[in-house]
């Protein structure tokens, strides 16, 4: 899809979801930022709003019931039993049979147990039990007015088409405020970063506020440490790591992006900081999160690498991408049909890259940065 450049007269003001060539800002059907009309139909003259199984009423996150993957009920029951069995003896499973847990996360956690599984996997269950009453204490403490102001301004801008968050004062928005405010007291150095909000919102879609808070703490402190810290250095390092890995997995794409001088932060900031919640169809988001909770940030790297494959193909097809803009548009607006949960998950497992490659690349980038900083400082001192 080329960068849309509708002339003045061609600007389409209707919310035609089919028109992919339309201007891209908020308008593309595959853009998660797009917030089109609600999915409403008329019955007996009254508008009926359809809510999908995840609570979305419209926008790009809305899942059409016809496109859903439904797992056969007996298979689902079997999986649920297996998970219940694991919960019963969780420590042992984690220490002795982690691979089995990992495989089960890769298959997708049964929706009815997802909330519990996430909390077990990230250790937030433990955190909460050892910090009884702490969340309420945080809520009672006076917060930094600057953070509170920023948070308040953002409450209505998180998944505005989700039933929990679609109106002012809705319980979703209230709880979101609580979690984010509590975190600014828990971690005053990082305070509130806008990219935290979608993460907290997804957790709230699955669990009560206090549980979501500790899960959120776990993600921020263990999984994506430093992503929301002032200066956003960790995200920039990971951007460089991703680019380095791209060189290994898809050299032709790497070359293309390098030639157009596209800095990683231009395409990966939202992917990584929001853990794909604003990029992928919802069922795929949940499958990615299932794996992420078990295996950590490397899952996010893998998904990102897969997106490059999906967009440009293995051979690297750049004929529609003469400049940086077209390349970025392609990466940012991937047609939803190419992001099916099974396809994305299977592709991440097939990637020709392992943990050691990632670790190596990470060390390399950290070293590169340090050398760069040193030479900068040295240069300054000299001058």
Would you say 301 and 245 are in contact if contact means Cβ atoms under 8 Å apart?
A: yes
Which one, of 214, 209, 180, 184, lies nearest residue 197 by Cα? 180
Would you say 268 and 304 are in contact if contact means Cβ atoms under 8 Å apart?
A: yes
Which one, of 305, 294, 218, lies nearest residue 268 by Cα? 305
Q: How far is the CB of 325 from another protein (least distance, A)?
A: 6
Cβ distance to another protein smaller for residue 154 or 361: 154
Which residues from 190-219 bind another protein, rule CB under 8 A? 193-195, 197-198
Would you say 279 and 60 are in contact if contact means Cβ atoms under 8 Å apart?
A: no
Binding status of residue 150 toward another protein by CB under 8 A:
yes
Q: What is the CA radius of gyration of the chain?
A: 22
Binding status of residue 153 toward another protein by CB under 8 A:
yes
Q: Segment contacting another protein (CB under 8 A): 40-48, 226-234, 243-251, 375-383?
A: 226-234
Q: Which of 160, 296, 316, 335 binds another protein (CB under 8 A)?
A: 160
Binding status of residue 231 toward another protein by CB under 8 A:
yes
Alpha carbon dihedral 99, 100, 104, 110, in 10-degree steps, equals -130
Would you say 303 and 279 are in contact if contact means Cβ atoms under 8 Å apart?
A: no
Supply 102's token pair: 């990992």
Supply 260's token pair: 């157009």
Q: How far is the CB of 59 from another protein (least distance, A)?
A: 8
Q: Segment contacting another protein (CB under 8 A): 7-15, 307-315, 350-358, 365-373?
A: 7-15
Q: Which of 51, 71, 263, 310 binds another protein (CB under 8 A)?
A: 263
Q: Which of 51, 76, 94, 232 binds another protein (CB under 8 A)?
A: 232
Phi, psi dihedrals of residue 302, rounded to the nearest 5°: -60, -45
Q: How far is the CB of 229 from another protein (least distance, A)?
A: 8
Taking residues 11 to 50 in sequence order and writing x for each that binds another protein by CB under 8 A, - otherwise, the string is xxx--------xxxxxx----xx-x---------------
Phi, psi dihedrals of residue 279, rounded to the nearest 5°: -120, -40
Cα 274–Cα 306–Cα 347 angle in degrees, nearest 5: 115
Q: How far is the CB of 158 from another protein (least distance, A)?
A: 7
The DSSP output letter for 11 is: -
Q: How far is the CB of 22 from another protein (least distance, A)?
A: 8
Length of the chain: 383
User: b/e map of 168-200 (b: 16 or more CB within 10 Å)?
Assistant: eebebbebbbbbbbbbbbbeeebbbbbbbbbbb
Binding status of residue 8 toward another protein by CB under 8 A:
yes
Cβ distance to another protein smaller for residue 79 or 278: 278
Q: How far is the CB of 184 from another protein (least distance, A)?
A: 12
Alpha carbon dihedral 177, 180, 182, 184, in 10-degree steps, equals -130
Q: Which of 236, 252, 260, 317 binds another protein (CB under 8 A)?
A: 236
Q: Please give the span between the terminal C-alpha atoms of the chain, in angstroms, as a whole number.
A: 48
Q: Segment contacting another protein (CB under 8 A): 65-73, 128-136, 266-274, 345-353?
A: 266-274
Binding status of residue 1 toward another protein by CB under 8 A:
no
Q: Which of 148, 163, 325, 340 binds another protein (CB under 8 A)?
A: 325
Cβ distance to another protein smaller for residue 209 or 328: 328
Q: How far is the CB of 157 from another protein (least distance, A)?
A: 4
Q: How far apart are the C-alpha atoms of 213 and 179, rounded to whole Å?
A: 5
Binding status of residue 310 toward another protein by CB under 8 A:
no
Which chain residues interact with another protein by CB under 8 A?
A: 3-8, 11-13, 22-27, 32-33, 35, 150, 153-154, 156-161, 166, 193-195, 197-198, 228, 230-233, 235-236, 263, 265-266, 269-270, 273-274, 278, 325, 328-329, 332
């Amino acid at each position: 899809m080329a960068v849309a450049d509708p002339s003045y007269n061609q600007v389409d003001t209707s919310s035609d979801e089919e028109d992919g060539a339309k201007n891209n800002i908020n308008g593309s059907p595959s853009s998660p930022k797009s917030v089109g009309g609600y999915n409403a139909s008329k019955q007996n003259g009254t508008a009926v709003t359809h809510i999908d199984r995840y609570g979305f009423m419209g926008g790009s996150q809305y899942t059409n019931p016809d496109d859903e993957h439904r797992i056969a009920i007996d298979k689902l029951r079997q999986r649920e039993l297996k998970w219940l069995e694991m919960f019963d003896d969780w420590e042992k499973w984690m220490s002795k049979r982690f691979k089995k847990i990992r495989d089960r996360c890769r298959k997708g956690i049964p929706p009815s147990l997802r909330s519990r599984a996430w909390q077990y996997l990230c250790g937030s269950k433990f955190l909460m039990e050892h910090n009884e009453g702490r969340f309420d204490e945080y809520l009672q403490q006076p917060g930094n007015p600057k953070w509170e102001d920023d948070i308040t301004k953002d409450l209505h801008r998180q998944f505005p088409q989700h039933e929990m968050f679609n109106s002012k004062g809705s319980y979703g928005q209230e709880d979101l405020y609580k979690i984010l405010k509590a975190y600014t007291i828990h971690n005053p150095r990082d305070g509130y970063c806008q990219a935290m909000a979608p993460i907290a919102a997804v957790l709230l879609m699955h669990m009560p506020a206090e549980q979501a808070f500790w899960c959120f703490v776990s993600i921020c402190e263990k999984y994506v440490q430093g992503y929301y810290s002032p200066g956003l250095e960790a995200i920039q390092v990971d951007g460089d790591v991703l680019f380095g890995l791209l060189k290994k997995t898809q050299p032709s794409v790497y070359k293309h992006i390098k030639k157009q001088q596209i800095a990683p932060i231009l395409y990966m900031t939202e992917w990584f900081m929001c853990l794909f919640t604003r990029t992928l169809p919802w069922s795929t988001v949940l499958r990615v999160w299932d794996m992420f909770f078990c295996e950590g940030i490397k899952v996010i790297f893998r998904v990102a690498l897969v997106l490059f494959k999906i967009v440009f193909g293995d051979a690297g097809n750049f004929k529609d991408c003469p400049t940086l803009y077209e390349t970025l548009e392609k990466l940012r607006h991937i047609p939803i049909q190419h992001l099916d949960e099974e396809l994305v998950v299977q592709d991440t497992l097939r990637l020709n890259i392992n943990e050691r490659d990632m670790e190596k690349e990470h060390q390399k980038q950290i070293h590169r940065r340090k050398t760069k900083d040193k030479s900068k400082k040295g240069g300054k001192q000299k001058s």
